[in-house]
Structure 1
């Protein structure tokens, strides 16, 4: 039985979420400023690269709404969007800061949201 494109995309995002929940994911970036902060664009790119490497899949489309402040415990939410428009939330939490280096964990939601009609 063939899967519809939206079902396949939702399954793919759900599989991605399940995989990330099992393996976990973390990253660190040197930001090079006196007040450590990572731009939203740099964060989105880093999260996308890490997700792609963790799941051995092409780099997904990830957007983050705000810069990530380099303070332990700081969190933000990013969004992974599939080709069909379905989305998966991704939480980013700063785990440590060492000078200009910000270490953070990435945690995907368990379920994807369907594409808007």
Structure 2
């Protein structure tokens, strides 16, 4: 590391102003959203690393660089391109210094346009079945 000594107060003041301006710029730096094509690659990479199979990911919207922002993409496989699973990417952190956007990926448990199994709280009666009445 090289250290430079400043001999004049004016030089020191100029240096401090320059450093403050640089720090201000880096702290105020705006982070760009994640473009759809970059998002597709990052999601596919993460899922391939986790499951050992590379999915086909399609994203139509960018992911805003704001904590809590989310967007939904579609997952298919080369073997079954007609079955589409929604994939939600949710921003967990934004590093304005490096420009990195961190996000979690969640794949839906059921394919898009399919019905999830319905839970029944209580047995239901069939409306067309006759009821028996006792005449005691």
User: Could you tell me the TM-score, scaled by structure 1's length?
Assistant: 0.64
Long gaps (5+) in structure 2:
1-28, 114-136
Distance in 1 (CA, whole Å) between partners of 2:57 and 2:90 is 16
Q: Deviations over 1:70-109 (max 9, x none)?
A: 0000000010012321111101000010110101000010
Q: Which runs of 4+ in 1 moved over 6 A?
A: none
Q: Note if 1:103 corresponds to 2:98.
A: no
Q: Which has the higher strand share?
A: 1
Find the partner of 1:71 among 62, 66, 87. 66
> How far did 1:60 drift?
1.1
1:93 and 2:90 matched: yes
Partner of 1:45: 41
Q: Which has the higher contact order (CA 8 A, sep 6+)?
A: 1
Bigger Rg over Cα: 2
Unaligned runs of 5+ in 1: 1-32
Alpha-carbon distance in structure 2 between the residues aligned to 1:109 and 1:88? 6
RMSD: 1.9
Query: By percentage of residues, which structure has more helix?
Result: 1
TM-superposed deviation, 1:34? 3.6
* Residue aligning to 1:11: none
Q: Work out the CA distance in 2 between the residues paired with 1:97 and 1:113.
A: 30
